[in-house]
A = this chain, B = another copy of it.
Amino acid sequence: MSSLVRTGISLERELLADFDRLIARKGYGSRSEAIRDLVREHSVEADVARNKVIVGALTVVYDHHQPRLSERLIAAQHHYHGKVLATTHVHLDARHCLEVVIVKGRSAEVQHLADHILSLRGVKHGKLVMTTTGKQLK
């Protein structure tokens, strides 16, 4: 971990009061932590736009009665096998499964894997989030 540095900002009194109320409701223990989160979010968004190495979590809901879908999902993950870190499977009901596929790679590759899986017949819904590998936030 790199060392911490301090920086100061000046802003309007009422804006700061409103911010303090907002973050208290969300449970933040300090203003500094809340502002750090905004800065980190900005940095992660930029990493995604710059095609840096990120971690993606693709959440999909699918119908496991759909013929050949399970094989296709496994095949897709093996095709990217150097990238897929872990998969979690939850049985939602008799018919529906939820799977979270955790992937590490450049943002464009991860998006490509997600597009491929989401386009499979029987995949009902899904969403990809991209977050940091932790390296950039040292």
Contacts and interface: CB of A to CB of B under 8 A. Distances in A.
State how many copies of this chain the complex holds: 4
A102 interface: yes
Contacts of A134: 61, 63, 92-93, 95-96, 98, 124
Interface centre among A12, A35, A100 (most CB of B within 10 A): A12
A118 B63 CA distance: 31
B121 A125 contact: no
Nearest to A128: B129
Q: Is the interface of A mostly helix, strand, loop or mixed?
A: mixed
B127 A131 contact: yes
Nearest to A88: B88
A17 to B, nearest CB: 9
Given A19-B43, A98-B102, A116 B8 contact: no
A127 B124 contact: no
A5 B16 contact: yes
Given A1-B63, A96-B134, A125 B41 contact: yes
A102 B12 CA distance: 26
B18 A119 contact: no
Contacts of A18: 43, 46, 136
Given A14-B138, A18-B43, A124-B134, 6 more contacts: A14-B136, A15-B40, A22-B46, A27-B116, A57-B98, A125-B137
